[in-house]
Structure 1
Amino acid sequence: MSKVLLAKQPILDRNRTLFGYELLYRTEDVDQVWDGELATVEVMINAYLNIGIEQLAGHYPVFINFTENLLTEKHLAKFAPKDIVIELLEDIELTETVKRSIKQLAEEGYRMALDDVTPALYRRWHEAGVMKYLTYAKVDFMETKEAFRRKDLADTIKKRYPSVSLIAEKVETLDEFDEAVASGYHLFQGFFFMKPELMESFEIPAYYLTYIDLIKEIDRMDFQLLKFAGKIQNDLSLSYKLLKLINSPAYRRIGRINSIERAVVLLGQAELKKWLYILALRDSLQHPALKGVDALVKSSYYRAKMCENLAEILVPEKKQEAFLVGYFSQLPAILRQPQDQLMAALSLDEIIEDALNNQENALTDLYRLTVAYERVDWPSVEILTEKLGLDDETVFQAYRDANQWIYTLFD
């Protein structure tokens, strides 16, 4: 069986908080005409058996495409209803057998979503009597372009099937997100949340600057590890956060670390800086002025670790800088500040700034590949993988490891 490469796309709620993921795939042979049923089976085998769904998506629900025949396949019954959302493709023929299968799956507790709902598709499913078995209806905002049609469709479904949650997919701008919220949609899929929503005045939050000051101290020529450990120990909150983080599976260690002094010595300057950056972003999740940033924070962590993983293969001497390229790429959207002012205030190394500004250097293509994989842009993934002299398996392993690392951070 040809190998399938997995990626996930976030689904957010009205508060822009992470709700779940859709699992998407691509075969290693992009020219292959890929059988949809085989692909779905391969996606599920990869996600549940080879990788572990928790390490890919955490505790969030996972949407997986199903073809007509797979609805009646008995071997799929081994997947518990709580683990998946069955996404029914729009070209499924509503035969009596299929309708019975949909009814039975609903009675067994499986959640189902109808993909690419249009007025015509809605009418067909309504007249066939199967809309009532759905949990979600997905409306493609690129396919249904007129705002009034998107609202009319939402109103019709909500009126007749109030238990069905509406998902607006391919929402790419904040204006489209606002429109979808106003039209009554419940969940949202697309990359609108990565668009910076800038505050009126430039101000880096005080809690973030506290971490930056510590990081700058590490960079000083006269830096002393034990003296720095004493400074952290005087901050009970920071001591607790740092010990908890480095005793998590995200940090590969032997034995438990019980003292800040030992932690600082074992980590060293470069790793210590990295973990302080990680803690700074985690604090964003509790900051009242920065609501709805959890998906962005996870994206920042993914990009940081994916860039680091790729750099470890290609330019190991630059892996710390690669980590920071990924990390800082989402900071303007998280802190809602302009990138140029933010970069200037943080005094980043030139190689990091250049990569973020799309200027060619040793890290630029690593960063581009990281973002392309996140956006499920398979053509760009293929081009960049070849350009960097990598293979699909290596890139997927880097992606998989990055997601496993994020899972351990939030476990």
Structure 2
Amino acid sequence: MQPICDANMRHVADELLYRNHPDATAALIEDDRVATARVCNIAFYETGISKLVGRRKVFVNTPQEWLLKPELLPPHPEQVVIEVLETVSGSPKVIAALHKIRSLGYEVALDDFVLTPETLPLLDVANIIKVDVRQPMNWRHIYLYQARGLRLLAEKVETLESFSRLKSQGFELFQGYFYARPETHRETSRHRSSNHAALLRLLAELQREDTDYRKLEVLISQDPQLTFMLLKYTNSALLNRRGGILTIQQALNALGLNRARTITLTIMMANNGPASRLLLAQALTRAAMCEHLAEEPQGTAFTAGLLSMMGLLINDSLSELLEQIPMEPAVREAILFRRHALGELLEDIDAFENARTQNWTAAKTETFNRVWIKSQQWTTEILHAVTPAEP
């Protein structure tokens, strides 16, 4: 699931990135359809779209065969954006199908769109144009899209500078890893610098197996917003509670150490600016995947997954951060150098996140897809519970 944000860096949509069956090739159209059917079945029917992304939109890459059979499209058209791939031309049959899809309530996005005489008719049925900003842009075409009232989505935005420039040029939606670059976090550097030392002290205390709850209580109480959100979460319906948890100590006792670690770090990172919130979803999903897939203690695997992205989350050297946090040497080596079984798992998850799964077996691919869906669902629930609603 790759986040899509608006011009205020609010997380408003996701692209559903399902890793295809490893044996599929461009010539095996049937396999592509099966892969799309599999992800839609898991995401929309088994899991449920509200559990997966809350109220955000979902962009779904759609084979041309599915465009011509709208009855195969996923449910909840009010939340689904149908992505028309760049290989699809504007033939009369496709245009008629897309008119039907629009009438059903779906939005239509043209992916990696390049305007040609053959693709021109697609502009009549589109809502969104996705532009790969790494390629030279034809501004005459961009102005045409804007004049038609089409929303522009910038793909593969890699830096905050590019994000700011494209925003000023009229792009409304953005997709890429610009929010994971260190310069993204400068907007909140003053807030972070005042909390950085406190975060590290709290992070170090949370990693101790012999954590002193009284010391932990003191550290948490120094942050009023963290205290409020922790109590709010502990009393939430997610834990089947209706009040009764009034102190930090009661909250820590109710949560237990492993859950207290997760929630406390999530709240602190979610309050670290919009860029961190976008990256946090990926970090939590990675951590949950580690927990589900690791052979060693689940708490250790979850923590390793989360810490593997901590350098990006708080814009600091990961190796220096880990030196300040008590942990087993093997866990540190797994995070930094991908050693041992846990390190190999982190390497596999990184490969999955970046679609480097061509040599995987079908069983391994399917396992990671299912675990990813489950982990993404959990992440959505956690972030919904501990972060304020977007305006």
1:137 aligned onto 2:123: no
Uncovered stretches (5+) of structure 2, i.e. residues with no partner:
385-391
Residues 208 and 280 of structure 1 are in contact (CA less than 8 Å); yes or no, is this contact kept in structure 2? no
Shift in CA distance, 250/368, structure 1 to aligned 2, threshold 3 Å: farther
Shift in CA distance, 181/221, structure 1 to aligned 2, threshold 3 Å: closer
1:372 aligned onto 2:355: no
Alpha-carbon distance, 1:234 to partner? 9.2
For 2:323 and 2:212, locate their aligned partners in 1 and report how far apart those are by CA, in whole Å: 27
SS at match of 2:141: helix
* Equivalences for residues 237-256 of structure 1 within 5 A: 237-248=225-236
Alpha-carbon distance, 1:271 to partner? 4.1
Q: Which moved more, 1:207-216 or 1:38-47?
A: 207-216
Shift in CA distance, 173/202, structure 1 to aligned 2, threshold 3 Å: same
For 2:286 and 2:338, locate their aligned partners in 1 and report how far apart those are by CA, in whole Å: 18
Q: Who is 2:284 aligned against?
A: 301
Residues 89 and 118 of structure 2 are in contact (CA less than 8 Å); yes or no, is this contact kept in structure 1? no
For 1:352 and 1:83, locate their aligned partners in 2 and report how far apart those are by CA, in whole Å: 40
Shift in CA distance, 70/344, structure 1 to aligned 2, threshold 3 Å: same
For 1:74 and 1:199, locate their aligned partners in 2 and report how far apart those are by CA, in whole Å: 45
* Equivalences for residues 11-410 of structure 1 within 5 A: 11-31=4-24, 33-35=28-30, 36-76=32-72, 79-120=75-116, 123-126=117-120, 128=121, 130-142=122-134, 145-146=135-136, 149-159=137-147, 161=148, 163-174=149-160, 176-178=162-164, 180-197=166-183, 199=186, 205-217=193-205, 224-225=212-213, 237-248=225-236, 258-260=245-247, 261-284=249-272, 290-311=273-294, 314-316=295-297, 319-346=298-325, 350-379=329-358, 382=360, 391-410=364-383
Alpha-carbon distance, 1:342 to partner? 3.7
For 2:105 and 2:208, locate their aligned partners in 1 and report how far apart those are by CA, in whole Å: 59
For 1:353 and 1:90, locate their aligned partners in 2 and report how far apart those are by CA, in whole Å: 43
Alpha-carbon distance, 1:173 to partner? 4.5
For 1:66 and 1:106, locate their aligned partners in 2 and report how far apart those are by CA, in whole Å: 14
Alpha-carbon distance, 1:101 to partner? 2.7
SS at match of 1:401: helix
Deviations 1:260-315 (A, max 9, x none): 4444334444443343222321322xxxxx3433211212222222222222xx11
Shift in CA distance, 332/140, structure 1 to aligned 2, threshold 3 Å: same
TM-score, length-normalised on structure 2?
0.80
Alpha-carbon distance, 1:199 to partner? 4.9
For 1:343 and 1:329, locate their aligned partners in 2 and report how far apart those are by CA, in whole Å: 9
Uncovered stretches (5+) of structure 1, i.e. residues with no partner:
1-7, 285-289
Residues 20 and 62 of structure 1 are in contact (CA less than 8 Å); yes or no, is this contact kept in structure 2? yes
For 1:26 and 1:46, locate their aligned partners in 2 and report how far apart those are by CA, in whole Å: 13
TM-score, length-normalised on structure 1?
0.76
Deviations 1:33-62 (A, max 9, x none): 242444433332222111211222222111
Alpha-carbon distance, 1:409 to partner? 1.0
For 1:336 and 1:90, locate their aligned partners in 2 and report how far apart those are by CA, in whole Å: 36
For 1:102 and 1:68, locate their aligned partners in 2 and report how far apart those are by CA, in whole Å: 10
For 1:295 and 1:258, locate their aligned partners in 2 and report how far apart those are by CA, in whole Å: 30
Q: Who is 1:3 aligned against?
A: none
For 1:232 and 1:293, locate their aligned partners in 2 and report how far apart those are by CA, in whole Å: 20
Residues 203 and 325 of structure 2 are in contact (CA less than 8 Å); yes or no, is this contact kept in structure 1? no
Q: Which moved more, 1:13-22 or 1:72-81?
A: 72-81
For 2:179 and 2:194, locate their aligned partners in 1 and report how far apart those are by CA, in whole Å: 24
For 2:19 and 2:220, locate their aligned partners in 1 and report how far apart those are by CA, in whole Å: 46
Q: Who is 2:387 aligned against?
A: none
For 1:157 and 1:234, locate their aligned partners in 2 and report how far apart those are by CA, in whole Å: 51
When the two chains are superposed, the root-mean-square deviation of aligned CA atoms in Å is 3.7
Q: How many residues align?
A: 378
Residues 249 and 409 of structure 1 are in contact (CA less than 8 Å); yes or no, is this contact kept in structure 2? no
For 1:109 and 1:271, locate their aligned partners in 2 and report how far apart those are by CA, in whole Å: 40
Alpha-carbon distance, 1:164 to partner? 0.7
Deviations 1:326-358 (A, max 9, x none): 222333333233434444455665444433322
Residues 85 and 111 of structure 2 are in contact (CA less than 8 Å); yes or no, is this contact kept in structure 1? yes
Shift in CA distance, 291/31, structure 1 to aligned 2, threshold 3 Å: closer
For 2:291 and 2:152, locate their aligned partners in 1 and report how far apart those are by CA, in whole Å: 37
Residues 243 and 257 of structure 1 are in contact (CA less than 8 Å); yes or no, is this contact kept in structure 2? no
Shift in CA distance, 351/267, structure 1 to aligned 2, threshold 3 Å: farther
Shift in CA distance, 190/102, structure 1 to aligned 2, threshold 3 Å: same
